[in-house]
Chain A
């Protein structure tokens, strides 16, 4: 009940003309970013971050989170109309969305995608409203060992549960953690890994890295492929919207299941990609008519979109409550909070109530406004794709450079961005995942501080990570998740050995 009162206070903070205008601007920019090839949620947020530097933290985070919602909505437009998934999590949406467009049901598919995005996000935001304050008040009891154990759990679950080759995830994560350590050591004041370079004294700003890794590398990758597009134009009428909405109760099981999967994979770092595929596959598996999937079935749009958006939104829960982002974009938003001197984590709910509840209220409002906006403006945004890529690509490069420079007013950062662009291009092509790198880069210093404080407290005894039930369970869970593929294989082997014995 207390949460509802605080949420109402959040709405009161939010409902000013200035904030509402910023919200609309953020949503429009976000949809734009989602539709444009070569851009997406994480880089869109990172590139547009400098726009918010002169704002107060609440206005800034409202605008940034609305860019995020807008990008999530925008991705569905290209998936359905052009069979081009703007984001990896939109791939599953193309399976049935594009066939629907080919059958002349583009408006129906788009309405289904936007509505299910809204439902998925709404469920996750409700979860954040009621769960985040509880988790954060619980986390207030955490000491350095508990925090390090939670960081370890995040890192280990990325390695153990990720789809990529394990050694590649380890490379990505350790590289991110190492780069986070460049510059002045916060405890001793000694320089580390700077090799005499004055520019490296500041360290590697993770936003610069993100802009290069996601923005520049995506331009290089997009440029590599054929840029010819052939797709469907679509306008959505009120009649189509109402007819899709009228049928929604029929799909409540799919929507509920996908929301649950999305929230689960968002809070744990499973991610929106895994959520969307799992949502789609389960909808297919439990369907009485499995063969109709992939041929233009509306449930095939509802399931992945609900799961992906629930996941994308739920990833903000650990960021707000514990200061640990559940996704790459959440990591960038977390970086944004740090730029304004806010320290994400349990204390945020105590020290900056206006900010936190304003942000949560903006998630509700941003989703409602976003839904109305996309339903009414699809033809305009779809026509953005008529703009030749040769015009879009250099504009994105310039925006990336502006973003990279503005963070620390350093020319060196523009060069660094370019370097990370090449690294991102090569890493993506050889299968080294970038999300663990981003996460490690943003959490590196905090993880190291928590580790050092734990070790100082225990006199160097690693048993501190099993010193009580809470920290012991988290550390043990982390190790189990790290070795999960081995454990899973061992269980499968044992069950295979037992099966013929039973027969």
Chain B
């Protein structure tokens, strides 16, 4: 018997407000991305030209295939640049609102910090800090729940990867102190 009268409800206390102002339009981002891709195509094209984009007695030189791909990428980016300038819909379309950007940054910045921490403190300490910090500061979840969840998850990852499957992860001073 189906049990559809029971609802699952998950509220989001940090939801972005609907009327938040636009930070940037799709057109602006499309233009910037097209310019960046064009610059990348030129850079890679020049590097492949240097590596040799022609023919020698043994066949095509190392840069032959990627050189022509750079030209295709450059051409498509140039077309994209013109198309973005001419597009009326892209000009009015919102790429991101201020509230959305704040939320994206709320996950992106901790992820960058997590990568940095992984480099210096090891993956397990960094993941404990990321999960507990994110749950507490962004999700406003109770401190004990945040710490317990982070500990259980990190321990489970350690047992799964380092112990059971022998996949070695980046370690830091804590693991060194514990002899791992």
Contacts and interface: CB of A to CB of B under 8 A. Distances in A.
Interface of A: 50-51, 53-54, 81-82, 101, 104-108, 165, 167-168, 170-171, 174-175, 177-178, 181, 185, 187-188, 190-193, 195, 216, 219-220, 223-237, 239-240, 379, 382-383, 385-386, 388-391, 393-395, 397-399, 401-402, 405-406, 409, 411, 414-415, 418, 421-422, 425-427, 429-430, 432, 448, 451-452, 455-456, 460
B178 interface: no
B4 interface: yes
Contact of A233 (B7, B63, B104): B7
Contacts of A414: 115, 118
B146 to A, nearest CB: 8
B29 A429 contact: yes
Given A231-B8, A390-B134, A224 B167 contact: no
B167 A406 contact: yes
A386 B8 CA distance: 7
B135 interface: yes
14 contacts: A50-B161, A185-B51, A191-B51, A195-B47, A232-B4, A233-B4, A236-B2, A383-B8, A388-B10, A388-B135, A389-B12, A394-B130, A405-B123, A452-B59
Contacts of B9: 228-230
Q: Is the interface of B mostly helix, strand, loop or mixed?
A: helix
B167 A53 contact: yes
Interface string B59-103: 111111110011011001101100100000000000110001001
A209 B33 CA distance: 18
A334 to B, nearest CB: 21
A418 B112 contact: yes
User: Looking at B26, B115, B119, which has the most chain A CB atoms within 10 Å of its CB?
Assistant: B115
A456 B59 contact: yes
Interface string B11-32: 1100110000000001001100
Given A386-B8, A386-B10, 8 more contacts: A105-B2, A175-B73, A178-B73, A192-B63, A225-B100, A234-B3, A394-B110, A426-B33
B141 A388 contact: yes
A452 B2 contact: no
A223 B107 contact: yes
Given A230-B9, A405-B123, A414-B118, A178 B66 contact: yes
A391 B137 CA distance: 11
Task: Point out which of B5, B111, B114, B138 has the most chain A C-beta atoms below 10 A from its C-beta.
Answer: B111
A104 B169 contact: no
A225 B16 CA distance: 7
What interface size band does chain B fall in? 35 or more
Given A414-B118, A430-B26, A451 B65 contact: yes
A57 to B, nearest CB: 15
A190 B130 contact: no
A193 B110 CA distance: 31
A170 B78 CA distance: 12
B138 A390 contact: yes
Contact of A181 (B65, B107, B139): B65
A224 B166 contact: no
Contact of B107 (A187, A192, A219): A219
B37 A175 contact: yes
Contacts of A456: 58-60
Which of A192, A216, A236, A448 has the most chain B CB atoms inside 10 A of its CB?
Answer: A192
A288 B15 CA distance: 43
A394 B83 CA distance: 38
Contacts of A178: 44, 66, 69-70, 73
A398 B1 CA distance: 39
Contacts of A232: 4, 6-8
B159 interface: no
Given A51-B160, A224-B96, A236-B2, A430 B33 contact: yes
